[in-house]
Amino acid sequence: MSQPDARSTAAQEKAALDQVPTQLFIGGEWRDSSDGSSIDVEDPATGKTLVTIAGATVEDGAAALDAAVAAQADWAAVAPRTRGEMLRSAFELLTERADHFAMLMTLEMGKPLAQAKGEVTYGSEFFRWFSEEAVRIAGRWSTSPDGSTRFLTMRQPVGPTLMITPWNFPLAMGTRKIGPAIAAGCTMVVKPASQTPLTMLALAALLEEVGVPKGVLNVVPTSRTGDVMEPIIGDPRLRKLTFTGSTPIGKQLVKQSADQLLRVSMELGGNAPFLVFPDADLDAAVEGAMVAKMRNMGEACTAANRFLVHEDVADDFATKFAAKMAAQTLGRGTEDGVDVGPLIDAKALDKVSELVDDAQQRGASVATGGSRTGDAGYFFQPTVLTDVPADADLMREEVFGPVAPITTFSDDDKAVAMANDTEYGLVAYAYTTDLGRMIRVSEALEFGMVGINQGIVSNPAAPFGGVKASGFGREGGPEGIDEYLSVKYVGIAP
């Protein structure tokens, strides 16, 4: 574990926490919870409370939806250029204040500061991208095949949207919903994860500063999540639900949305395979594996969950990968030189430990790591396991931690079959230098995204999303704004 420079980090942490809003943001006003409820936000590196914020009640949730509904018509009428310029200003302010936002994320979520800054870059880019998309919402003019009618096709804002986001990327999971919603002219109620609400509250203050009108964006952290969200989802004035989080909660929310036939986008869990073919550049594959596995301490829906390596190169790959993993420095994310922060909570740490124990009991060997570490906080050693059998739980479940199980394959068809043998379908990675293999494998993989010779696929200019139990809908890219637009056609008899 690395040693902190206690004085300077403590001062920076205090400054970040002193500035963060701690109230609900409803109808353009900062207010306390209607019954005085609160949420203690914990530092996962110490288990101690960082700050206490207001927690929304059912009444507060209803007030947030009232505000979003009241603001919708005027907001939809705001000129696209004006909406785009608000996003552009938000991008610039976020960039200017990257250190502040990064510090908040590191404190509430645990990721090292350098990665938190990376998330500010990634997250703010959704605002820049959608500032450019706001002015390109186009329609169509066409003639019916028999010539009797003209079709005017337009794309209009879907309307008030509920956004529910997870704790692992407190900024980016918000901006990739808020960006296109602002660009499209939708109002919104945002419910950040109760473990990481600070970044979203700070973002709401920033959006207020750039002139997003009252009621367009409402933020209601709550610890009574189901009780507060269900009536909003059941309210006929809500038009869309967009959710990023676990597959079980996603399924539950799809069921709740069915009564209203809401427009729904679901960004859910993953179980990403990382394939290494015998012709791969092995050093590049190891570099890619580090990124695909260790970004966010493995707490990413896109994290490589299973390493499927050709038997001819498996030993070399495992040795090089284990050496890199063993060289990682664990510590509190605010400390200099830290590569790996804590996991989010004790439950997550227990789950990772259980998955590693289960794999070992079924015959896997530990190449490096293998256990929890540290006296405080929720730290797990970067771990590489070899000879992991297909029936080990961590080959089927999202490990959501710094653990890399390696198993081998003998031919391409088997590799693809193993990769596809999961209920999930978010992302797959493959390392190969053979162009034909790149094409064949990319086409055969049943995933929404494929990274070839790269360990990261997230990019605001590309359509992020999954198939199967990883959900539906796309965030980012030209497709990202479509989720917030409805198509209407007008038939005109000339």
Contacts to ligand NAP from residues 178-237, by CB under 6 A: 191, 193-195, 225-226, 229
Nearest to 452 by CA among 465, 440, 442, 467: 442
Token pair listed for 266: 């679901």
* CB within 8 Å of 4: residues ≥ 6 apart: 331, 332, 334, 335, 336
Nearer to ligand NAP, 123 or 166 (CB): 166
Separation CA 108–CA 250 (nearest Å): 24
Separation CA 431–CA 452 (nearest Å): 6
- Using a 10 angstrom Cβ sphere, with 0-12 exposed, 13-18 middle and 19 or more buried, the burial of residue 286 is buried
Nearest to 465 by CA among 300, 272, 266: 266
Q: Does 62 bind ligand NAP (CB under 6 A)?
A: no
Contacts to ligand NAP from residues 366-385, by CB under 6 A: none
| 263-247-464-181 Cα dihedral, nearest 10 degrees | 40
The distance of closest approach from Cβ of residue 365 to ligand NAP in the complex, given in angstroms and rounded to an integer, is 27
Residue closest to ligand NAP (Cβ):
245
Nearer to ligand NAP, 193 or 216 (CB): 193
Nearer to ligand NAP, 231 or 278 (CB): 231
Q: Are 274 and 294 in contact (CB under 8 A)?
A: no
Separation CA 349–CA 195 (nearest Å): 15
| 296-299-300-301 Cα dihedral, nearest 10 degrees | 180
β-bridge partners, 492: 150
Q: One of 267, 398, 475, 483 is an active-site residue; which one?
A: 267
Which of 426, 450, 452, 469 touches ligand NAP (CB under 6 A)? 426
**What secondary structure letter does DSSP report for 213?**
P
Which of 220, 275, 301, 384 touches ligand NAP (CB under 6 A)? 301
The distance of closest approach from Cβ of residue 472 to ligand NAP in the complex, given in angstroms and rounded to an integer, is 10
Which of 50, 63, 206, 249 touches ligand NAP (CB under 6 A)? 249
Mark the segment that binds ligand NAP (CB under 6 A) among 80-88, 124-132, 241-249, 331-339: 241-249
- Show the site string, 67-106: x = touches ligand NAP by CB under 6 A, - = not: ----------------------------------------
Q: Are 468 and 247 in contact (CB under 8 A)?
A: no
Which of 22, 165, 175, 305 touches ligand NAP (CB under 6 A)? 165
Nearest to 206 by CA among 300, 314, 91: 91
Contacts to ligand NAP from residues 267-296, by CB under 6 A: 267-270
Nearer to ligand NAP, 431 or 464 (CB): 464
Nearer to ligand NAP, 245 or 451 (CB): 245
- Show the site string, 385-404: x = touches ligand NAP by CB under 6 A, - = not: -------------x------
Count residues near ligand NAP (CB under 6 A): 29
Token pair listed for 180: 């296109």
Tokens 């959501």 correspond to 400
Token pair listed for 21: 């809003």
Q: Does 244 bind ligand NAP (CB under 6 A)?
A: yes
301 is catalytic: yes
What is the helix, strand, coil percentage profile of the chain, to 5?
Answer: 45, 20, 35
Which of 75, 91, 127, 167 touches ligand NAP (CB under 6 A)? 167
The distance of closest approach from Cβ of residue 206 to ligand NAP in the complex, given in angstroms and rounded to an integer, is 20
The distance of closest approach from Cβ of residue 80 to ligand NAP in the complex, given in angstroms and rounded to an integer, is 27
Nearer to ligand NAP, 242 or 368 (CB): 242
Q: Are 199 and 171 in contact (CB under 8 A)?
A: yes
Nearest to 333 by CA among 168, 7, 114: 114
Which of 24, 41, 63, 173 touches ligand NAP (CB under 6 A)? 173
Q: One of 301, 335, 398, 483 is an active-site residue; which one?
A: 301
- Indicate which residues carry an active-site annotation: 267, 301
Task: Report the interface residues with ligand NAP, using CB under 6 A.
Answer: 164-169, 173, 191, 193-195, 225-226, 229, 244-246, 249, 252-253, 267-270, 301, 398, 426, 466, 470
